Amino acid sequence: MQVIGGVVCILVLQRIGFLFLGTGPGGRLFLDVFIVLASSLAIGSCFAAAMRGRGVSRIFWLLFASSFAMQLIADASWAYFHYFHVAVPDGAINCMRSEEHTSELQSLTNL
């Protein structure tokens, strides 16, 4: 019940932040902070569930917490890029291409 109250509180504060800060740099930073807080809350909740669980249930919640920890690292990285205005290299997001797209590019170069 406390977790649900925390989630609702984060969502309400996020909406209030959007109303006052908009979608500019301040609003983006505000959103990034709340995304990091939400991921942290998810990790804490998973660890709490793991401590209550036994056997396979405990392993499941620990693995779930580790996936939220990876999400937290990604969210914190994007917050860093937004806050310090670091340009993301073009190849960083689209580093893997499908075979179909690659063959289309190769056929265009063979014309």
Other C-beta atoms closer than 10 Å to the C-beta of 103 total 11
Alpha helices by DSSP H, 53-89? 56-84
Q: Name the band, by pLDDT with cuts 50, 70 and 90, for residue 2.
A: confident
Nearest to 1 by CA among 64, 48, 39, 50: 48
Q: Percent of the chain having pLDDT more than 70?
A: 77
Burial of 41 (0-12, 13-18, 19+ CB in 10 A): middle
Q: Are 39 and 66 in contact (CB under 8 A)?
A: no
Give yes or no for a contact between 42 and 59, defined as CB atoms under 8 angstroms apart.
no
Q: Tell me the per-residue pLDDT of 41-88, one tens digit each, with 9 for 90 and over.
A: 889 989 999 999 898 999 999 999 999 999 999 888 888 887 887 776
Structure confidence at residue 58 (pLDDT): 92
Choose between 17 and 100: higher pLDDT: 17
Residues 11-46 pLDDT 10s: 888 788 878 887 777 778 888 888 888 889 889 989
Look at residue 82 in the predicted model and tell me its pLDDT. 78
Query: Given pLDDT bands bounded at 50, 70 and 90, which one contains residue 106?
Result: low
> What per-residue confidence (pLDDT) applies to 103?
52
Nearest to 75 by CA among 35, 27, 24, 23: 35
